[in-house]
Chain A
Amino acid sequence: MRIRLAMIAAWTCAAQAQSELPQARLKIDFPTDSPVAVVAADWGESRAAARGNALMLDLKTSLVLRNTASQRIRGVVLRVVAQEVSPGGKASVAVPSLNVAPGETFPVRVDLRLLRPPAPLGGPLVEVSLDGVLFEDLSFYGPDRLESRRSMLAWELEAQRDRAHFKKVLETEGEDGLRRAILDSLARQAARPRLDVQIVHRVPPTAFGGQQIQFAFLRIPGAPVEPLFGTAEVAGNEARAPRVEVRNVSRREIRHVEIGWIVRDRDGREFFAGSLPASGLKLAPGARARTQEAVSLRFAGSPGRPLSISAMTGFVSQVEFADGSLWIPPRSVLSDPRLARVVAPSAEEQRLAEIYRTKGLAALIAELKKF
């Protein structure tokens, strides 16, 4: 009898443990003059549930947004803040490579999970707001709290560069040439070595016991900055406090630089580890700047093959000038076999390859002709 009662109690608790999330806990906040309007918000599958000693919230949102501006939209970034769950922590969902005409609608999905200690809940748990919109003339709208403008501009310039490449292939080599180029892209995407990564931000300066490894730098023709020197403290699969010194070799003032970071393990395998940005610069022509972050990055390779960093390579991957214009590497640089093997294709190349994969060559050609 006791066992039956316990089972009934457990079943009742389990039934109560999972419940729909009240919509008051979720807030969408777009400015009144926003160039996108929320047409519909579906919170249908959002749930709250007890998970051990913690409260777990699953938020599955599908927003339908309308372009209320007078030009085409190329990208949108939504800011997602869960202040009570992770003070200071935030997230965003970006949709680049858009081609949304005035009056048209498009969907954005926000699928997130929150886990927090049980405590009385106050205001909204999650707030979704607009961080920025990029238009076809590369103008930008939004508070840009997450520096979305630069990211979206880089994605759009990459998109223009890669669409031009595939259009040229179609023009010069025909449909068979385009098919070969896209299959090659798909094969590279599948073969690209991947890393699992963990970042610990602002690590305290404790004894680490690693060794200083210097960066080797790839020379990128036409890059506005020249990397001069760089090191990181490395032990096994962990790298700490990477720093790089660069010089402005252009004739314009620079405010942001990113250095792509490739690590090599003891078996000679190379992986794209990430990037080292330096922001808020006022780098005059000929001047030098240094980037250094108190950060620890741990990497894991494929199962069964632990990673041990033995060498590092850097290359200039992005530069923003003081006037807001951006430099990205030309496609010819990224076609270098060493970079092509490890650097991910652009968002646009990934999208075009997916169109070919799911809809075929005719759909890809039709898509290229839209731009």
Chain B
Amino acid sequence: MTHPDPAELALYAGAELSWLRRLRVGGHVRRCAACRWEVERFREARTRLRDMAWDEPAGLNWERLAAEMRANIHVGLAAAECVGPEPVSGRSRWRMAVTAIPVAALLLATLLLQRPRLEPRPPSGTVVLEAASDGIALRQGEAVLKLQHPSGRDVTYTVNTQGVLRARFVDAETGYVTVNLVYAH
């Protein structure tokens, strides 16, 4: 089986394929790390686009968005060249399709019902550090200090038990690695 082309993966990432094609592409994506990575990048790009559209429609940077898409397609094509085709029998494809629908429904219900939350119940005056999708925050009573980073980016969070929380990402505008830190002490 050959890899789906980038356009098909982009449509898959946005759930815009017909259900039959979605099953076929989904089956491949589950087994193929390179295509899965590509789909995740497309999803991130969509999330960023949506966030930007909500926050600042006037400032939407189409050039950067286009560069991001080009970069993802480039990496996807390079990855596809590096990995060989994966043989899949027609029988297993149908078996997968039959089992995928109830599993997908179950997963969706689970996602909606069981989204884990970090419920903060600190005593008053205690310093709490938290990582969120758009930044890392220091909270003390009603006061909050939050260092923000672009949501949807590849952000690496690390904590240490002396009370330091870090968020590391590559700033898309400067190209530099940036590390934001908040300290509880």
Contacts and interface: CB of A to CB of B under 8 A. Distances in A.
A277 to B, nearest CB: 5
Contacts of B116: 196, 237, 300-301, 303-307
A89 B142 contact: no
A348 to B, nearest CB: 8
Interface stretch (A8-16, A91-99, A165-173, A212-220): A91-99
Given A88-B185, A196-B131, A198-B129, A297 B177 contact: no
A304 B159 contact: no
A190 B156 CA distance: 11
Contacts of B162: 277, 279, 293, 295
Contacts of A275: 158-161
B105 to A, nearest CB: 13
Contact of A344 (B123, B144, B156): B156
A298 interface: yes
B130 interface: yes
Contact of A198 (B118, B173, B183): B118
A104 B62 CA distance: 29
Interface string A274-294: 111101000000000001010
Interface string A328-371: 00000000000000001001101100111111100000000000
A198 B122 CA distance: 11
Contact of B130 (A94, A195, A198, A204): A198
Nearest to B174: A107
B141 to A, nearest CB: 8
On chain A, which size bracket covers the interface?
A: 35 or more
B74 A360 contact: yes
Given A196-B131, A202-B127, A187 B179 contact: no
A89 B184 contact: yes
A329 to B, nearest CB: 15
B78 A295 contact: no
A112 interface: yes
A364 B14 CA distance: 31
B179 A94 contact: yes
Given A115-B143, A304-B111, A274 B159 contact: yes
Interface string A78-110: 001010011111111111111000000011111
Contacts of A303: 111, 114-116
B135 A113 contact: yes
A96 B181 CA distance: 13
Interface stretch (A19-27, A178-186, A247-255): A178-186
Contact of B82 (A146, A179, A200, A276): A179
A199 B114 contact: no
Nearest to A60: B148
Interface string B106-122: 01001100111110101
Contacts of B120: 198, 200
B46 interface: no
A94 B160 contact: no
Contact of A89 (B67, B127, B157, B158): B127
B159 A197 contact: yes
A201 interface: yes
A97 B177 contact: yes
B147 A93 contact: yes
Given A86-B145, A183-B75, A187-B34, A201 B173 contact: no
Contacts of A198: 118, 120, 128-131
A116 B37 contact: no
B58 to A, nearest CB: 12
Interface in A225-272: 237, 242, 258, 272
Given A293-B162, A347-B177, A350-B154, A115 B142 contact: yes
Interface string B39-53: 011000000000000
A276 to B, nearest CB: 5
Interface of A: 54, 80, 82, 85-98, 106-117, 146, 179-180, 183, 186-187, 189-191, 194-204, 237, 242, 258, 272-277, 279, 291, 293, 295, 297-298, 300-301, 303-307, 344, 347-348, 350-351, 354-360
